Amino acid sequence: MSEREFQPELDDELLSAYLDNELTVEERAAVEARLANDPDAQHLLHQLRSVSQSVQMLPLEGVGRDLSGEILRRVEAKKLGSGEASGGDSSAVGGVTPRLPIFGSRRSWIWATLAVAAGLMIMVLERGDEKGKQLPAVAQNESANADRSAGANGSPEKRAETIVSAPSPSAVAEEDGEKAALRKLSVDSPSGSVAGSSESDRLAVSAPEDARKPTTSADGELRPRIDTSLDVSGDNKSKLVAGAEPQAMPRPASLPNEGAVARSAAAGAPAASTKLGDEQQSTGDANDLVVVHVSAKPAAIRGGEFEKLLARNGVEFDADAKAEDGIAGESLKKTPASSAESYDKSRNLNGANKSVDIVVVDAPRDVLAACMAELQHDESNFASVEVEQPAANDRAATAAAGITKQLGSELRQYNRGMNSYQQSAGARFYAGDSANKDQGQLSDESKRSANVGGGPSQNNQPVQNQRAAQMNRGRALRVQAGRDEDQASRAEQLGRRAGEFGGGGGESEALRRNVAQQQKPQNENSEEVRVLFMLSPEAVSPAPSKKAAN
Amino acid sequence: MSDDASLIAASLAGDNAAFGRLVSAYQDRLFNSLLRVLGSREDAADIVQDAFVQAYTKLNTFRGGSAFYTWLYRIAFNLAMSHARRGKRTASLDDRKSLVGDEPMDGRPTVDSGMMQQERAELVHAALGELSLEYRQILVLREIDGCSYDEIAEILDVPVGTVRSRLFRARMEMKELLSPRLHFERIVDTR
């Protein structure tokens, strides 16, 4: 019987209230007057009283236990969960001894289960965060274009200080027996670098807070595999400390992702950070990125000598990335001859806003050594070659990057004719998770990334061995083409490109100058490593303009 | 300052033990009321805990304008209402029939017929389960907890006039449910 259906008279309602002594004096008087003359009212009053008494006669039931302990434990848990942790000691309440709040009821069991699940998740995330904190790196490149090489023109000084986050899952493609699979590069956390046109150009990009966070592309063109390999547009909160010259190193007003990679890329530095895979997180170390500064003569740049050099040593450029993405860096294979002039112009080789080409190279160690040796001896095309050194006061961080340090030392023997590049304090590249500290193999994440768009991922050594056996033993991706394009968009593109690189898809192409080496050397020279080459035109005149630090 | 007020103040100052004493003081009373509303001991215990936890977290919003238990009841009854509306298990009449027997007391058993107090309690409990949640709540608050109309109005967040009319209708419906089972006249007469 619903409340609507039942339409008691007001007087009857007063009888109920009369029973409860909830009437005013006037109402009570009126009810009593009615009761004195109305037997039905009397009968109803008796019935209502009976109902009331029947309910009141229900026995009192108790919980049967003291709930205070359980309740206070829940309160504590809730406070902890909401960050309001306090030092309450629930066990002291009522003498209740501590016990798991999982026995009281089904609800308690659910809470307990959720708490355990949440705890596990927090543990996993915390672990990831720690990794992420190690990954961010800042790199400061003081590039003074001192022409130490014979016949070299005075080279402009340039400084680029970049923080590069290199959470870097490398990607290795594995299509059994297929060259395409071998071409897939693992871009373990390619990091961004900065190229400045003037000596005071400085970029400082803070590391991403969460390098592992999947990124979303600003535009829909970003291919899935890129997403899987690079964290280009994640929520990384990098901070661009100083911007490069507006044209040469324009900084994006806003990036979809504040990641160091995207920022440094936007600032003219190549940046590519890969998402961290769980596997890598568990095995990777934060390593500094080996950065090699190469000063090339304009003719060499126009002629794609650097790319040719890489090719001669078995490093293959990814060929179609630009066509697909429209990213700044065009393939050098296509660039040289016919478009030499425009290329030269676009790069403004003689202008103040010269920019730096950044090429990430993934190759076995011996291949890289061969490349470096050739660079060292090819004075006709390359004015100088120098491996950036970590800052003296950044040793602690560098120390952890044993792989990078070792590789850097190895490659440093090929230095020639340049001012010392040293990473500034607090500015370093983190090769991070890209390096598989134990095996020197491509990381699982790298393999996974490489596999995107490719065949089934198989994180196994045979793939790497197979790659080493190929003619093209290394792969290169130009992540920045040193052109005066919309840097903001380029930032994403670079990241995208790098992601593509990392993804190792057959179509991805775009490799160029800087090589981020993150792959931890595994065994001998055959282990694959990653180096970031920063190729700058030697003839560039020093740009006096300075960038305002951001 | 009343005991409740001092315990509340101590709780707000971080003394969890003080809040523990509040729990100890009201848990059984609240549990009993919720048991009659929800019909399930398990659900009632859960809601009691939830209510105290919520009360703790909102304790700083308690202004002392009303009794603590009134404020606590309001939280608890809101939770109970939400719980019931989510379709969670509430005792149904069928559930309770297992306690009082499948058949109604067609013979109009009276106290004189030897009906045990426990049996009659089960019948009443079962009848409560047949009421709407609103009627159940108001009957419990009034008959079991002895709340005044003003307190009921505060707990249920309804006008006092609504309390009076709703309580009357709840009683009338309860009378209809119990009439076949209990001989009210006799009960009344015996008292």
Domain spans in chain B, listed from the N-terminal domain onward: 1-90, 91-191
CB contact under 8 A, A55 and B49: no
Between CA A477 and CA A498 the distance in angstroms is: 7
**Residue A129: inside a domain:** no
Ranges A237-241, A374-378, A506-510, B30-34: which has the least confidence: A237-241
Q: Could you read off the pLDDT of A291-339 as tens digits, one per residue?
A: 888 888 888 888 888 888 888 888 887 754 443 333 333 333 333 333 3
CA distance to A129, A172, A336, A402, A474, per residue, from A318 (Å): 32, 14, 16, 29, 10
Say if residue A110's pLDDT is above 70: yes
Residue % of chain A over a pLDDT of 90 = 5
Name the residue facing B23 among A13, A53, A68 (closest C-beta). Answer: A68
Would you say residue A53 lies in a domain? no
B49 contacts chain A (CB < 8 A): yes
Query: pLDDT tens for residues A157-193?
Result: 333 333 233 333 333 333 343 344 334 333 333 333 3
The confidence band for A267, taking pLDDT boundaries of 50, 70 and 90, is very low
Question: Residue A359's beta-bridge partner residues?
Answer: A478, A533
**What does each C-alpha distance from A45 to A37, A51, A105, A545 come to in angstroms?**
13, 10, 42, 98
Q: Is B167 an 8 Å CB contact of chain A?
A: yes
Better-scored residue on pLDDT, A369 or B93: A369
B35 interaction partners in chain A (CB closer than 8 Å)? 61
Q: Which domain covers residue A263, as residue numbers?
A: 135-537
Label residue B180 by pLDDT band (50, 70, 90). Answer: confident
Contact between B56 and B11 under an 8 Å Cβ cutoff? The reply is yes
Residues whose CB is less than 8 angstroms from the CB of residue B7 and which lie 6 or more positions away in sequence, other chains included: B18, B19, B21, B22
Decide if A384 contacts A421 (C-beta within 8 A).
no
pLDDT given for residue A439 in this prediction: 36
* pLDDT band (50, 70, 90) for residue B114: very low
* CA-based nearest distance A99→chain B, Å: 15
Q: Is residue A238 part of a domain?
A: yes
Q: Which residues partner with A543 through β-bridges?
A: A198
Chain B's closest residue to A66, CA to CA, is: B24
Q: Which segments of A199-350 does DSSP mark as H helices, in order?
A: 224-229, 260-266, 278-283, 298-302, 305-312, 321-325, 340-347
Task: Render pLDDT for A449-477 as a digit per residue (tens, 0 to 9).
Answer: 333 333 333 343 433 344 434 455 677 77
| Nearest alpha-carbon partner for A301 in A484, A537, A547, A15 | A537
Residues of A in contact with B20 (CB under 8 A): 68-69, 71-72, 90, 93-94, 96
At A296 the pLDDT is: 84
Residues of A in contact with B164 (CB under 8 A): 13, 16-17, 22
The fold for domain B91-191 equals Arc Repressor Mutant, subunit A (1.10.10)
Q: Which two tokens stand for residue B65?
A: 């304008």
Determine, yes or no, domain membership for A361. Answer: yes
In the beta sheet, which residues pair with residue A137? A164
The full DSSP string for A27-74 is HHHHHHHHHHH-HHHHHHHHHHHHHHHHHHTSPP---SS--HHHHHHH
- Grouping H, G, I as helix, E, B as strand and the rest as coil, residue A405 is helix
What is the pLDDT, as a whole number, of residue A290? Answer: 81
Asked if A22 and B166 come within 8 Å (Cβ–Cβ), the reply is no
Supply the mean pLDDT for chain A.
54
A419 has pLDDT over 60: no
Which residue has better confidence, A388 or B165? B165
Strands A474-481 and A357-364: antiparallel
Neighboring chain B residues of A48 at a CB cutoff of 8 Å: 168, 171-172, 175
ipTM comes to: 0.83
In a domain, residue A266? The reply is yes
Residue with tokens 């969960």: A81
The confidence score (pLDDT) of residue A495 equals 39
CATH number of B1-90: 1.10.1740.10
Q: Is residue A19 part of a domain?
A: no
Q: Which amino acid is at A180?
A: A
Overall domain count for chain A: 1
